[in-house]
Amino acid sequence: MTLTRREAVDLLERHGLSPSRALGQNFLVDPNTVRKIVRLARVGPGDPVVEIGAGLGALTVTLAEAGAEVVAVEIDRHLLPALREVVEPHGVTVVEGDALTLDWTEVLAGHDRWALVANLPYNVATPLVCDLLDDVPAIDRMLVMVQREVGERLAAGPGDPAYGIPSVKVAYWATAEVVGRVPPTVFLPQPKVDSALVAITRRPAPAVTADPEALFTLVRTAFGQRRKMLRRSLAGVVSAEAFARAGIRPEARPEELAIEEWGRLSDALS
């Protein structure tokens, strides 16, 4: 059972609700898209799954019907009665809270490894994915729906126009791939942009051994002037000798360096 557009409208009206623009609420109301997400997430019986931004529960219920043990996180307290009405009969645990500040150790205490499957609010998608990769190792794979440009940024590789700081952060911890496109028509209300489905799989260990704080300080400094050559954007930070030790051309620009090269450059400063 997944919510159709008409059923979602009726549910909202019955509870005196409307989608919150401030919270970036665009509810999934297309059963085919919901089933596609669950299929791409490779979710099956007994799998522990956390969903962030459960909304009206269309994706939540389909995850539960696939046999997953679902914890649904929702920040909007006004929405919680409608969400609970839809998902609790399916054995779903509902957690009220802000995913950016939750005590994830407590929320995920029941299992060592979790999948995240979520339609993420556009305004928090990038920091949320990066924070979870940094701080919540129990989440070892993700299938997230995000704004198309955000999805391309998360999965971008060196030389791609979308390659930037989030791309390097994801590459440090995981592999990522855009696995689907989603049109605005499957949402209530319809956003003005297309969405993308991004599959992220955590690596057994970070891609490089460089100290992450030093590494990402370097990355942020370089991408702060991304149009400049590294010898200019990192002037006073990386010497010519350090570039040589790392085997990195000083004339390169930040978007040309893969995570392994960033790791070598960071190590060369140690």
Burial class (CB in 10 A: 0-12, 13-18, 19+), 230: buried
pLDDT of residue 123: 84
Are residues 234 and 242 in contact, defined by beta-carbon separation less than 8 angstroms?
no
Strand order in the sheet with 195-202: 93-96, 69-74, 48-52, 114-119, 139-147, 195-202, 174-182
The 3-state DSSP class for residue 39 equals helix
What is the Rg, in whole angstroms, of the alpha carbon atoms belonging to the chain? Answer: 20
Q: What is the pLDDT along the chain (270 residues), one digit of tens a residue?
A: 678 899 999 999 999 999 998 888 999 999 999 999 999 999 999 999 999 999 999 999 999 999 999 999 999 999 999 999 999 999 999 999 999 999 999 999 989 999 999 999 888 999 999 999 999 999 999 999 999 999 999 999 999 999 999 999 999 999 999 999 999 999 999 999 999 999 999 999 999 999 999 999 999 999 999 889 999 999 999 999 999 999 999 999 999 999 999 999 999 998
In this prediction the pTM is 0.94
Q: Does domain 212-268 have CATH number 1.10.8.100?
A: yes
* pLDDT tens per residue, range 47-59: 999 999 999 999 9
List residues bridging with 28 in a β-sheet: 187
Q: Judge whether 5-202 and 212-268 match in fold.
A: no
In DSSP notation, 130-174 reads: HHHHHH-TTEEEEEEEEEHHHHHHHH--TT-TT-SHHHHHHHHHE
For the chain, the domains span 5-202, 212-268
Write the CATH number of the domain with boundaries 5-202.
Answer: 3.40.50.150
With beta carbons less than 8 A apart as the criterion, state whether 174 and 202 touch: yes
Task: Report pLDDT for 1.
Answer: 62
